[in-house]
Structure 1
Amino acid sequence: MINVMRKHSIEQFVNCERLVGVSISSDDKRVLVGSDRSGVYNAYSVSLADGETVQLTHSQDNLMIPIGYFPDGRKFLYRSDQGGNELTHLYMQSENGKSVDLTPGKEEKAEFHRWSRDDKYFFYESNKRDSRYMDLYEMDIDTLESTLLFKNEDGYMVAAISDDKKYIALLKPRTSNDSDMFIYTEEEGVKHLSEHIGDEQYQPIAFDADSTCIYYLTDKDHEFLYLSRLCLSTGSSEIVAKEEWDILTARFSPNYKYLYYYINNDGKVEVKVIDSKTGKNVEIMDFPQGQISGLSISKGERYMAFLLNRSTAPANLYVYDFELKELRCLTDTLNAEIDEHDLVDARVIHYSSFDGLEIPAIYYEPRLEEGEKAPALIWVHGGPGGQSTVDFSPLFQYLVNHGYAVLAVNNRGSSGYGKSFFKAADLKHGDVDLADCIEGKKFLIGTGRIEEDRIGIIGGSYGGYMTLAALAFQPDAFKVGVNIFGVSNWERTLKSIPPWWEAMRELLYKKIGDPYEQTDYIRSISPLFHADKINKPLIVLQGANDPRVLQVESDDIVEKVKENGVPVEYIVFEDEGHGFTKRENQITGYGAIREFLDTHL
């Protein structure tokens, strides 16, 4: 006999606090962080001394994600959109609580880049000139006047700006597997830095302190991305850091004392901090196990703040003191009504697919009595090209807590497992990637703990598409499908991508298919045109304001499947976009998913 976990409600799981966006004030006294403890993301100030938390914004509908304190430590910057439409604006809030929209264009989308080293400006990108492209601006933090620094007329992505503002590093993707880096100067214009043949990635990320070198990621002659630097005067390159997995990104601390980078280690994110002068690793005492995000080093470079979560606990805010070599946790975000021992640890597993290719996955298994077997779900992440990692998921833990096993598959085409694996599903979506998910059933059945005739498929965005593809193209593979804002008609979706995705348009066409030149193929992989084959129960969740997967995608597939006489449930969230931002909607959506599964699986 084993200890049976206590059951918890969806309200209890969703009422775990979620944190985002970490920034330390210049006086080293407070951390600015975003939290959804009010039901929607707002900005909060957390004291470094004692963890005392003060709410700074009070939105009840639109999320307000903090970016950072202004140098005076009294004002701060945050971003917000309207109902999930992704037209983010940048706002400044003063001590008196008054907010000013710094990028007020009606159809404008603005994205913060970074503060200037001299604390006089911040850099940001905006599409106010041309809705298709993001130009680079600087804004004077005293006058709040903006100046155009780079007019983007050729689909570049701004990657880095040198401290002296002489250089702007640019990224241009050719395909999902091939990209180039460029450098812009006012005197010479745009210069190509990465001439190459074949598929290679070149992603600039930062300049050094004196603007003599550019740091960049590349996978030249290697399966994984590694960190290199290019000397601008000589054109010579050297490797800075190389791991057995992808280096996701790298950053310098404000005064360049430290260089830190993230590693995607088999579904787990790790961080290494190195001394910029010596190149040696900085040992962090008592560093906890878990997924790290949002790392920020203070202006004086004494403190490092970051978020850390694990599969059984949501992200908490930690602060490390480099001088005292002391690590402290300032928050406790797991709902006090939930005992962490009632949750299950996620396991990274691998299984062989139909052609022998090894497929990585994250496995959550409920606690079972001797001889007991559970129903199960194959979860497919977003993308294409996304990845499931060992994160805390209220939905996963809720389902597992109520007896469902979850296998989060990283099918071929997922990121994080090398460039060959990443491009293995190009122009084969709904086919080989779906076959990898179906093969995941064999792993589940092979555990001896899963009911083989009670396995469903679930996913969001691209994962929602995969759910529909499974039901339409392999109608006997799964017993039910859960589609969360997923694509049903690639032809329409690829033709209606948001204008600010213009730089990514050709990349998507080369990865998925060209809706203008490959119409027959695009329709062959679109479940909407094959909906008459769907004969298993389906639930669909959709945001009315979704700019990526339009509501009509879900409207159409629901209507078609209903014609088959199949049980279909459909929930539209009027105040959401591409994903859930509000606790109330998560409770409604996730609760409906479980009720659907209890009924049909």
Structure 2
Amino acid sequence: MNKFSKRIYALTLTMAMSMALIQPAVQAAEAVKPTAAVSESIASKATQTLQQLGYIDGTTDGMKEVAAPITRAEAAIILQRVLELDAPPVLTGFADVHPHDVSAPAIYALKQGGLIQGNVKGYAPDAPLTRAQMASLFTRAFELKDNGIQVVYSDADQIPAVHATDAIRVKQHFIMESSTFNAKQAVTHGEFASALYLALGLDVKKEGLTPLEDFFKQPAQAGFQMSPDGKNLAYMEPWNNQMNIVVKENGQDKSVRITSETDRSIAGFAWATNEKLLYFKDAAGDENYHLYVTDINGKNSKDLTPYSNTRAMLIDSLENIPDEILVGMNKRDPKIFDVYRININTGEAVLAAENPGNITGWMTDHEGKIRVAISSDGNVSSLMYREAENQPFKPLLTTKMGDTFVPVMFTGDNKNLYAVSNLDQDKMAIVEYSPATKQVTKTLFENKDVDVSNIIPSKEKGKILAAVYVTDKVNYEYFDNGFKTLMQDIQAKVPGKEVSILSTSDNGQVLFISYSDKAMGTYYFYDSKTGKLDKLADTAPWIDESKMADMKPVTYKSRDGLDLHGYLTLPPGAKASELPLVVLPHGGPWARDTWGYSPEIQFLASRGYAVLQVNFRGSAGYGKKFLDAGNKQWGKAMQDDLTDGVNWLVKEGTVDPKRVAIYGGSYGGYAALAGLAFTPEVYAAGISYVGPSNIFTLLNSLPPYWESERNMFYERVGDPVKDKELLTAISPLFHVDQMKAPLFVVQGANDPRVKQAESDQIVEALRKRGVDVPYMLKTNEGHGFANVDNQLDLYRAMEKFLSRHLMQ
């Protein structure tokens, strides 16, 4: 059986670092208050919209007197209409609210619903409604929950204890914006209308919009994998709001959920044997992944790596040794990973290869023997090799930073190596290398424009079936005619879609997924002998492709003449003229954006925003010259590439220069902070999600298992000692005085890569300037939000934030 989905764990940590700062999963902080014009605009829209909906009439609710204080009775009348509450049959309970009073049905309806808590002494219906009272009314009426946004009021000590939590809730949901609460201040009719408008989400609601929740729902079913014998399928689906593993017999409908995680979704899984599966999970985003094994019926689950403060990674599932796997762990030393041979039945772990301190990657041959290692100090790497496990490793070749030689697979006879290499050339190619002669014997494939990014191996044939490279989209260079024919047959079955084969069986069965920029993906089972195609599952069946936007490849010139590639997504059906824009820089930064479905991008486009993704200099995939062009250019030329993209779209007339925001996660979060600090004239708002604000503290707090890559960080980003002036210049924290646009900051408390201190620092610095910064901090998340409830909090807040500053 060919297991195309089997990962090759021969990557050095240098390559792994290309994903290190990428993921988040995004959001950030507000730097200044909205202008008076924005507030007036909201108030005007609020009154008009509420009247159209029949929520206010201007008579019994007093709404004609916009500047006059609203009474407690008038507020009750409006809320009863909004909530459609029935009045109780008997209107009694308050001594000062007579049953015949016009407001009595509303007041007693609110009392019956638990929204007001007066007592027999009276409700004081004619008294002005205070801000504190309105906060409690709205929190109860709209069930405002804690969304993690940190709220600081300068007059917090003056808020009555009974209203203190509610005062926080209304600000968390962007109803209040001032840093002072003024608890006893009377609320005017106009202020009440504005607050109600925002509490109802009317500022972001529009007829026919795909609900926000639909974009960020957990997949209905995802991650299908076929057992080695092809008899069973395993996949993940939601259970109790977390993604868990389900197994079913191939061709049957009956399934069995074999994990029951409620705190954190399963991070990933793989078949160990036909009867057992392996899976990973961490705790609250700390990225100390434990490796578990379980039977296909969910029984006999065992933690194979039950060690505290330890990160486990699968080196090889040892397909030909059913009861054993090779696992890398840093339990002996948090900075380095040793290899252990673990018995999946007993859990016994035996040291298979001890790391002398400089090994950053390991690779096995087809018999599961550890014969290749990569040593590195971050800048200089060496390929280490041995003929047998009882022999010492010897160096074969050495590479300097920028050069790449990564073995990915042995040839069928276990003698030579297939590798991804850019030695003596700019772009990465697939080569065959002879350890005996220490020479590249042949180049299988290279592309003149982009790096080769991956291979599709066949362990049974001992060869590479195809090379994968990404231009605007994914491309294949085929080395096996049978595989080429198979791909062509499958592509013909799903016209208009891209295809990725996941695995095949010896009897011609193929598991694959089709996808596009408008569809998250559909899993299929294909019998290549009969031509029969069976649909297994839609990943997101609730998404209407006809309402999704086109992600179009774009190219433009940087100010110094580089060709920059990326993607532009325009709102569906919108004219490409004077649109609001969200610039979305990717993380890494040593990664790249690719074409395909993105819930986040489709969500933004559906809300009327153009979205620009740029593979700025320093991005991976375009050769080492382009990658090296980003060295020590954080906040400088890398940032200029983003600015040049904005200017290009403004010049084209596509974008309104006054309505541009920048939002990103990880390095993208840094770019958002840098955009607001270093080009304040470009952006009207920014969102930084797990973004570094101080390069000194970022480098000082690298996870211990990245220690071998510290020199690489110093070369690509800057040395804290030698480049102190540079790092000071590019750290947004030291330039908050230049920030003018509103900022929204988002952070996971357990982030091991970009520590909470990175967000704390920038928020504190802005608050010291008197700037009110929305800061969403989730205590059960790490480098990006994994829990769906937290994701929804994030995007709901983001929707309101962007609407407030780009659409009002």
Determine if the TM-score, normalized by the shorter chain, exceeds 0.5: yes
SS at match of 1:243: coil
Determine what percentage of the aligned residue pairs are the same residue. 30
From 515, 518, 522, the equivalent of 2:727 is 522
Q: What residue is the counterpart of 2:804 in the other structure?
A: 599
CA deviations 1:436-493 (Å, max 9, x no partner) are: 0001112322442321211111110000001101111122121110101100011111
CA deviations 1:408-456 (Å, max 9, x no partner) are: 1111111111211111110111100100000111232244232121111
- Superposition map of 1:74-473 within 5 A: 74-94=275-295, 95-120=297-322, 121-173=324-376, 179-184=381-386, 185-195=388-398, 199-236=402-439, 237-244=441-448, 245-256=450-461, 259-261=464-466, 263-271=468-476, 274-275=479-480, 283-287=487-491, 288=494, 296-298=502-504, 300=506, 302-324=508-530, 327-336=533-542, 338-368=543-573, 373-473=578-678
* Structure number with higher helix proportion: 2
User: Cα offset for 1:590?
Assistant: 1.1
Q: Which moved more, 1:402-411 or 1:324-333?
A: 324-333
CA deviations 1:313-349 (Å, max 9, x no partner) are: 113323444444555442112242x311000110010
- Structure 2: which amino acid aligns with 1:574? T
Aligned alpha-carbon RMSD (Å): 2.7
- Structure 1: which amino acid aligns with 2:353? F
CA contact (8 A) 1:20 1:65 kept: no
Q: What residue is the counterpart of 1:17 in the other structure?
A: 219
User: Cα offset for 1:165?
Assistant: 4.5
- Structure 2: which amino acid aligns with 1:439? D
TM-score by length of 2: 0.69
* Structure number with higher strand proportion: 1
Gaps of 5+ in 1: none
Q: What residue is the counterpart of 1:8 in the other structure?
A: 210
Cα distance in 1 for partners of 2:233, 2:478 equals 20
SS at match of 1:286: helix
CA contact (8 A) 1:34 1:66 kept: no
Quick one: structure 1 residues 89 and 223, their matched pair in 2 at CA, closer, same or farther if it must change by over 3 Å? same
CA contact (8 A) 1:274 1:282 kept: no
- Superposition map of 1:498-537 within 5 A: 498-537=703-742
Q: What residue is the counterpart of 2:148 in the other structure?
A: none
CA contact (8 A) 2:502 2:513 kept: no
CA contact (8 A) 2:220 2:538 kept: no
CA contact (8 A) 2:524 2:533 kept: yes
Q: Which moved more, 1:101-110 or 1:261-270?
A: 261-270
SS at match of 1:63: coil
CA contact (8 A) 1:531 1:560 kept: yes
CA deviations 1:241-268 (Å, max 9, x no partner) are: 3334322232533423663455232243
Cα distance in 1 for partners of 2:367, 2:290 equals 26
CA contact (8 A) 1:411 1:437 kept: yes
Q: What residue is the counterpart of 2:271 in the other structure?
A: 69
Quick one: structure 1 residues 479 and 215, their matched pair in 2 at CA, closer, same or farther if it must change by over 3 Å? same
- Structure 1: which amino acid aligns with 2:230? D
CA contact (8 A) 1:472 1:530 kept: yes
Cα distance in 2 for partners of 1:375, 1:489 equals 30
User: Cα offset for 1:135?
Assistant: 1.2
Q: What residue is the counterpart of 2:242 in the other structure?
A: 40
Greater relative contact order (Cα 8 A, min sep 6): structure 1 or 2? 2
Q: What residue is the counterpart of 2:3 in the other structure?
A: none
* Mapped pair 1:476 → 2:648: no
- Structure 2: which amino acid aligns with 1:242? E
Q: What residue is the counterpart of 1:55 in the other structure?
A: 257
Cα distance in 1 for partners of 2:207, 2:551 equals 15
Q: Which moved more, 1:426-435 or 1:468-477?
A: 468-477
The structure whose Rg is larger is 2
CA deviations 1:511-531 (Å, max 9, x no partner) are: 111224433322221111111
Q: Which moved more, 1:32-41 or 1:85-94?
A: 32-41
Aligned pair count? 593
CA contact (8 A) 2:620 2:627 kept: yes
CA contact (8 A) 1:117 1:254 kept: no
User: Cα offset for 1:533?
Assistant: 1.3
Cα distance in 2 for partners of 1:43, 1:572 equals 29
Cα distance in 2 for partners of 1:157, 1:326 equals 45
User: Cα offset for 1:194?
Assistant: 2.2
Q: Which moved more, 1:587-596 or 1:323-332?
A: 323-332
SS at match of 1:189: coil
TM-score by length of 1: 0.91
SS at match of 2:520: strand
Cα distance in 2 for partners of 1:212, 1:370 equals 59
Q: Which moved more, 1:206-215 or 1:484-493?
A: 206-215
CA contact (8 A) 1:89 1:104 kept: yes
User: Cα offset for 1:229?
Assistant: 1.4
Quick one: structure 1 residues 25 and 546, their matched pair in 2 at CA, closer, same or farther if it must change by over 3 Å? same
CA contact (8 A) 2:454 2:469 kept: no
CA contact (8 A) 1:40 1:62 kept: yes
User: Cα offset for 1:30?
Assistant: 2.1
- Structure 1: which amino acid aligns with 2:701? S
Quick one: structure 1 residues 374 and 368, their matched pair in 2 at CA, closer, same or farther if it must change by over 3 Å? farther
